[in-house]
Structure 1
């Protein structure tokens, strides 16, 4: 049981669905209000009366339901609490109201508050070229930092990116992150949100950090068109959506595929696809915001997009190359693209090894208690 003099409990309601969630948090946090909920957790806003600021608090859903969810919870809170970059969400605190391993069930993350996620922004606003290029630049900066840390995000999508009223953008949710050096493993079908999966992921091939670049290209097109670019109905249909949109891949790409996959891909009808001008038509840009001198034009945006949405990852832009593209180059700052690397303290070998749920529970509990001992979780209250 939590210490009653240091924690208090709230019932938070999602008024759209009627669902209720219980939050037990340190007394420094008050005025909890529902923001969003998903399969991995629920997020509320709260007032931090000690720091005099609004924060977001994420409560992970059933982090110990099975070994996979426990690994994801551990990866999420350790990476979020230790990776530092202006375009990666800042985590202020990590805590659990439980005091012993025997009754440990809840993991909470306290993060900086942002007004909305990118999915909501896409539904609400049409962006001018300057804002659009600034958003893509910031996503690239965040992902570049992760790649420099040796990490692939693997779940980039609009709902995992948040923005504030000043157009500052932050990437979050590292539950599916992996080391680049271990990325040769095949992706399983339940990771990486379907719409944003790179061709090599969809086809079950080995992949690299270039898979993140494809996801950014999908997000880029979605911001422009205000709709998903490849809305696959299921994992199999996702490939059909890609080739229907971009056309059947070249013979050079086909020849690189393993025989079994090559046979499967060649067995599909040949698709002509659409040109980049058709995929990202002029009418979906705000023409009055174009500036040729700054390379902020529809043509420039289409060039960058096409370089990210390339079938062959060897020909696809890297994040570093994308950061040098004229469409985003105006924002380039060395301190953002080459920020100091973080001491992530995440032991990939130990955490990703086969472990029992009991061992993972202990690992997570000890990590949280270590964080609590090194940080002022309660703010003196």
Structure 2
């Protein structure tokens, strides 16, 4: 539902922008969108801690698009930093399996009045969470979705970005960002898959003294090394893909932990207790806890992913679309010790997904990635973050015609 608002009372250029108020009927809340005239027929899509998203008609492109209004990006330093990170990455990272930014703008003409940031993105039919809950996926779709997710992650890694972040010399106990999970992956009607959310992505850094915040990642998809604050690598993303892969097959979360320690317990109940090679990596207190938790025996992959959860009639041994092949890939993604776990490259070469391998997708040209981790780690005031975001938005508007395409 949308309601036109008299524009003469607002501080924006009425020759280029108009205002529409969007109603979220579920929670009885509303949000006002100040957008270029090219966008019309706005309808509420979803809302969360990071922003409100609507569907709109784009008269210039002649198609429906998704418009995200960043949710109060300048109220706290945390939200301003996140908005800066998301904006820079969305405007620079380009790959077929990463959501495409179509436009970005602010109706505010000066830093003093700067309050709103909008991102216009291609509209996708569903998120993967909806797909998993609503449809039993056949081998072809399971394989294709895993392949596309791996392509996206590889491109992020190649471009110097990891989807999960680390913080150094910062207090992060109140951070609650989103991460790689089914609801942050979207799918089109043609089964094209794209990673949606960049609020948690950062440039990689090999400093092993850095640690992942316990609060930063989504618990169900959290790798063991993240749970215990070990030095990280890109393989933590492979664990997440494995968890999502299992969820696509079983149509339920594989490791539904209630908190950090219960998450570890849930992993051990399924995958078994870790060996000494992993335990010896832990701190003294963590190692003591793990050894005294009890000795869990690992379940077989056939028990974790039973035959009845696959669509048997869709098997095709000629291209390795079989339950044993799917389980073999999954078992190598879900190794507790990251030293034993598949890399992205290993997974892309696995017979279950290799059918889809295309050089231009797997090894696409590296994105520009202007994101500066040193800026992110710097101690800045809220006003300084606001200024940085304003400069980035204005840079984009200078380089793009936001009104006529």
Unmatched tracts of structure 2, length 5 or more: 1-10, 165-178
The counterpart of 1:197, out of the listed 222, 229, 232, is 222
The counterpart of 1:161, out of the listed 150, 169, 185, is 185
Unmatched tracts of structure 1, length 5 or more: none
Deviation track 1:292-329 (CA, whole Å, cap 9, x = no partner) reads 11110011111111111111111111111100000000
Compare 10-19 and 284-293 and name the one that shifted more: 10-19
**2:159–2:368 contact (8 Å) kept in structure 1:** no
Q: Assess, with a 3 A threshold, how the Cα gap between structure 1 residues 182 and 251 changes in structure 2: closer, same or farther.
A: closer
Aligned residues: 380
What is the 5 A alignment of 1:42-57? Answer: 42-57=52-67
What is the 5 A alignment of 1:302-381? Answer: 302-379=327-404
The residue aligned with 1:225 is: 250
| Distance in 2 between residues matched to 1:96 and 1:369, nearest whole Å | 8
**2:104–2:396 contact (8 Å) kept in structure 1:** yes
Deviation at 1:252, TM superposition (A): 2.2
Deviation track 1:112-166 (CA, whole Å, cap 9, x = no partner) reads 1100110111111111101110010000000000011111102210111100110
Compare 14-23 and 365-374 and name the one that shifted more: 14-23
Matched, 1:38 2:48: yes
Deviation at 1:372, TM superposition (A): 0.5
The residue aligned with 1:92 is: 102
What TM-score does the superposition give when structure 2 sets the normalisation length? Answer: 0.91
**1:81–1:92 contact (8 Å) kept in structure 2:** no
Deviation at 1:217, TM superposition (A): 0.4
| Distance in 1 between residues matched to 2:27 and 2:206, nearest whole Å | 40
Deviation track 1:175-194 (CA, whole Å, cap 9, x = no partner) reads 11122215642122321111
What is the 5 A alignment of 1:142-157? Answer: 142-154=152-164, 155-157=179-181
> What is the Cα-based RMSD across aligned positions, in Å?
1.3
Deviation at 1:43, TM superposition (A): 1.3
Deviation track 1:196-228 (CA, whole Å, cap 9, x = no partner) reads 110011112221111111000010001001111
The counterpart of 1:118, out of the listed 115, 125, 128, is 128
Superposed structure 1 runs of 4+ greater than 4 Å apart: none
| Distance in 2 between residues matched to 1:78 and 1:317, nearest whole Å | 30
What is the 5 A alignment of 1:182-331? Answer: 184=208, 185-331=210-356
Question: What secondary structure does 1:45 align onto?
Answer: strand
The residue aligned with 2:30 is: 20
Question: What secondary structure does 2:353 align onto?
Answer: helix
